[in-house]
């Protein structure tokens, strides 16, 4: 990818910035999506959204929203992977699946204190003490409910494997349920959190969630402090409005409610549905779709081309990640700021 394209033609960056600003400023309902960037890139996107009244959503907004809704409904009890590695003695793998991130997390956890494992889900962990097979979102939610009831002794005579699992969980000194919100429905997530909370009546138990990819947790946090509400929100008349259905970027595009989009995506390229709307795409150098969006601008990848603040799996916190192969490519934040500076004056509706 060259530096920048407008309507598929390579142009100088300034020209693409100006075209991007025109496209976004003339829209009735712009969306700023992706936000698959470092903290600075996310922040710049949210600030631009405040200025032009754009909807904000993340590349993994569906998962993030599910987690946010569960949080707002019931709260949560959670800990960090690093602490489970150090002191965790019992793990409940709750519908974890066998994705690479899950394997990486389990490998990380296994290097600390020895652990006994209850594995609930479609692909039981090989060295699990107890395996509770369940496949599919609903079966997993049901199995979790059964396990929770067994732990709370609400079942007269639980199935033997559930009794064994409950005994193991209830005997934990510091246990943790490990789950991937992307693989569970909201009822199952609530069941994991409720189970962990219940177990604390006797011993200590908590949870660790696999974070959403593409710096999604960082996007949620930054939206929290700049907008005061979770992602899938819009700044209107000096107030943030939050509605996880109404401000779902994909729905807005597919329903043709949105008439322009900015995808900030050095970490993750735009999905196919973005092609349905006139779009500005900020992407890493490898971006080469079949059909170029209206405006495409190449940006540095955080942690590769330039240092960037990224959410960390082990610590559940933001850290500065140095550049692994530094280049002079401008950052997402630089480009978004340039677009905001190039907006016509009337665009500042905040």
Contacts with other proteins by CB under 8 A lie at 39-40, 43, 68, 71-80, 82-83, 85-87, 108, 111-112, 173-174, 200, 203-204, 206, 220-222, 224-230, 233, 237-242, 307, 309, 312, 314-320, 333
Coil, helix or strand at residue 33: strand
Please give the full DSSP string across 199-229, using - where no structure is assigned. HTTTSEEEEEEPPPTTTHHHHHHHHHHHHSS
Which of residues 255 and 320 has its CB atom nearest to other proteins in the complex?
320
State in angstroms the smallest separation of the CB of 177 from other proteins.
Answer: 13
Which of residues 288 and 320 has its CB atom nearest to other proteins in the complex?
320
First-to-last alpha carbon distance for the chain, in angstroms, is 34
Give the separation between CA 203 and CA 276, rounded to whole angstroms: 52
Report the relative pairing of strands 4-6 and 233-236 from DSSP bridges: unpaired
Which of residues 247 and 287 has its CB atom nearest to other proteins in the complex?
247
State in angstroms the smallest separation of the CB of 206 from other proteins.
Answer: 6
- CA 91 to centroid of chain Cα atoms: 23
State in angstroms the smallest separation of the CB of 291 from other proteins.
Answer: 34
Give the separation between CA 118 and CA 322, rounded to whole angstroms: 37
- Ramachandran sector of residue 136 (left: φ over 0; alpha: ψ -120 to 50; beta: rest): left
Contacts of 39 by beta carbon, 8 Å cutoff, 6+ apart: 215, 218, 222, 308, 309, 310, 318
Which of residues 147 and 220 has its CB atom nearest to other proteins in the complex?
220
Residue ranges of E strands in 113-217? 116-121, 130-133, 174-179, 204-209
Long-range contacts of 133-139 (CB under 8 A, 24+ apart): 134/95, 137/183, 137/184, 137/185, 137/188, 138/185
Give the separation between CA 300 and CA 286, rounded to whole angstroms: 11
State in angstroms the smallest separation of the CB of 170 from other proteins.
Answer: 12
Coil, helix or strand at residue 278: coil
Which of residues 138 and 173 has its CB atom nearest to other proteins in the complex?
173
State in angstroms the smallest separation of the CB of 250 from other proteins.
Answer: 21
Which of residues 156 and 238 has its CB atom nearest to other proteins in the complex?
238
State in angstroms the smallest separation of the CB of 283 from other proteins.
Answer: 21
Which of residues 203 and 285 has its CB atom nearest to other proteins in the complex?
203
State in angstroms the smallest separation of the CB of 268 from other proteins.
Answer: 21
Report the relative pairing of strands 130-133 and 116-121 from DSSP bridges: parallel
Which of residues 217 and 269 has its CB atom nearest to other proteins in the complex?
217
Coil, helix or strand at residue 242: strand
State in angstroms the smallest separation of the CB of 157 from other proteins.
Answer: 29
């Amino acid at each position: 990818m060259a530096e920048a394209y407008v309507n598929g033609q390579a142009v100088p960056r300034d020209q693409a910035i100006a075209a991007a600003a025109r496209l976004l400023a003339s829209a009735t309902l712009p969306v700023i999506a992706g936000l698959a960037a470092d903290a600075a890139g996310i922040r710049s996107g949210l600030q631009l959204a405040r200025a032009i009244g754009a909807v904000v959503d993340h590349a993994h907004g569906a998962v993030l929203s599910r987690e946010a809704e569960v949080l707002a409904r019931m709260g949560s009890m959670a800990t960090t992977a690093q602490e489970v590695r150090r002191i965790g003695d019992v793990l409940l793998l709750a519908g974890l699946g066998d994705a690479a991130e899950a394997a990486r997390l389990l490998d990380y956890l296994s290097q600390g204190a020895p652990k006994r494992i209850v594995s609930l889900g479609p692909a039981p962990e090989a060295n699990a003490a107890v395996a509770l097979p369940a496949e599919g979102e609903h079966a997993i939610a049901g199995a979790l409910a059964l396990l929770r009831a067994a732990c709370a002794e609400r079942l007269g005579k639980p199935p033997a494997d559930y009794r064994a699992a409950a005994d193991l969980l209830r005997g934990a000194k510091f246990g943790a349920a490990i789950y991937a919100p992307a693989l569970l429905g909201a009822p199952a997530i609530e069941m994991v959190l409720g189970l962990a909370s219940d177990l604390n009546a006797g011993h200590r138990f908590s949870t660790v969630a696999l974070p959403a990819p593409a710096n999604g947790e960082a996007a949620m946090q930054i939206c929290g402090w700049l907008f005061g509400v979770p992602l899938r929100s819009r700044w209107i008349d000096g107030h943030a409005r939050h509605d996880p259905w109404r401000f779902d970027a994909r729905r807005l595009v597919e329903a043709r409610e949105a008439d322009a989009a900015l995808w900030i995506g050095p970490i993750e390229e735009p999905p196919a549905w973005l092609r349905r709307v006139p779009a500005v795409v900020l992407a890493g150098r490898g971006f080469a779709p079949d059909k170029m969006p209206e405006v495409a601008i190449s940006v540095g990848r955080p942690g590769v081309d330039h240092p960037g603040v990224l959410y960390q799996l082990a610590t559940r916190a933001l850290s500065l990640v140095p550049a692994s192969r530094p280049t002079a490519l401008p950052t997402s934040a630089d480009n978004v700021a340039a677009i905001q500076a190039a907006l016509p004056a009337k665009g500042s509706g905040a």
